[in-house]
Amino acid sequence: MKKPLIDRLYQRVAQRGHVCLGLDTDLSYLPEELLSSDKSPADALVEFNRRIIDSTLDVTAVYKVQIAYYEALGLEGLRAYAETLRYLREQDAIVIADVKRGDIAKTAEMYAQAHFSGDFEADFMTVNPFMGMDTLAPFFPFLRDQDKGLFVLVATSNPGASDIEGIVSQSGASVSQMVGDMVVEQGAPFVGSCGYSSIGAVVGCTNKDQTRSIRHRMKGCFFLIPGYGAQGGTAHDMADYLQDGNGGVVNSSRGILLACRGNRFGGLSFEKAARQECIRMRDEIYECL
């Protein structure tokens, strides 16, 4: 019998490390050999993604696909998005659809149906809770009946995060802390045998002075950790987010997809350089635990 989704993700981290590879693929990332071929831009993008996936599958815990990069190319881009998701699932990869949806009632239900079934099916979705916790409820039947999961925005990695997330209430808790507490409460019915819930949280590793307090408040919450690499976060910055070497995945997109253009792996093919960067990142995280 197949393990629940969150238990499978926990096991993947234990087996393959903490790397979440972000397929936030811009056409400018593609090598000239693909762009100058007789393929359409969308087909070239899919081939790039496939070669990255094939080269990194055994050293990556999970893949995150940011839909905006595909939406920007119109209908052909959405076809490339769907084909990338399909290929990942064919390889038994765990997939996060980075779509950051946040609405209520029937609209949220349609978002859940769109990204948990059909052409755009993924395993996890990123969601924005800032209209209230009722934005999460329409997703729960998919978590319960179809083994899906959520990553809820709690403490993001962007420079302006504190504009809203950092506002402190009369109780002394910040907006981010209050949202985190509510996410833990909402996730309680979906805890797997690993001790974590299928409702996880997005917490940036650029929140360097808050990592211990966030983890203390959200002990049973699995973390999706952006901000590593291009946004300035390091393995040391996120080490306190993890518990007993697990409990989170660390996202890198440009750092992996463009590894062939850097000094460290220059000269390697883009897929071989991506693999080496995943291994380097994985090992760097291990060293900090």
pLDDT, tens only, 14-67 = 999 999 999 999 999 999 989 887 889 999 999 999 999 999 999 999 999 999
Which residues are annotated as catalytic? 100
Q: Give the HSE-up count for residue 253: Cα atoms under 13 Å, Cβ half-sphere.
A: 15
For 219, other C-beta atoms within 10 Å of its C-beta total: 11
pLDDT attached to residue 60 = 98
**Mean of the per-residue pLDDT values of the chain:** 94
For 245, other C-beta atoms within 10 Å of its C-beta total: 12
* Ranges assigned E (strand) in the chain: 19-22, 62-66, 95-101, 124-127, 149-155, 197-203, 221-225, 248-252
Radius of gyration of the chain (CA): 18
In this predicted structure, the answer to whether residue 161 has a pLDDT above a threshold of 80 is: yes
Q: How far is CA 65 from CA 11, 36, 96, 208, 274, in A?
A: 21, 24, 6, 25, 16
Closest CA to 200 of 235, 256, 241: 241
For residues 83 and 97, is the Cβ–Cβ distance under 8 A? Answer: no
d(CA 34, CA 266): 18
pLDDT attached to residue 39 = 87
Which amino acid type is present at position 32? E
d(CA 139, CA 167): 28
Helices (H), 36-152: 41-56, 68-71, 74-90, 105-116, 140-146
In this predicted structure, the answer to whether residue 228 has a pLDDT above a threshold of 90 is: no
In this predicted structure, the answer to whether residue 1 has a pLDDT above a threshold of 70 is: no
Give the predicted TM-score (pTM) of the model.
0.96
Beta bridge pairs of residue 126? 151
User: What CATH number matches the domain at 5-288, 3.20.20.70, 3.40.50.1370, 3.40.50.300, 3.40.50.740?
Assistant: 3.20.20.70
Which band of pLDDT confidence, cut at 50, 70 and 90, is reported for residue 151? very high
User: Mean pLDDT throughout 180-191?
Assistant: 97
The contacts of residue 257 (CB under 8 Å, 6+ apart) are 22, 23, 24, 25, 29, 52, 270, 274
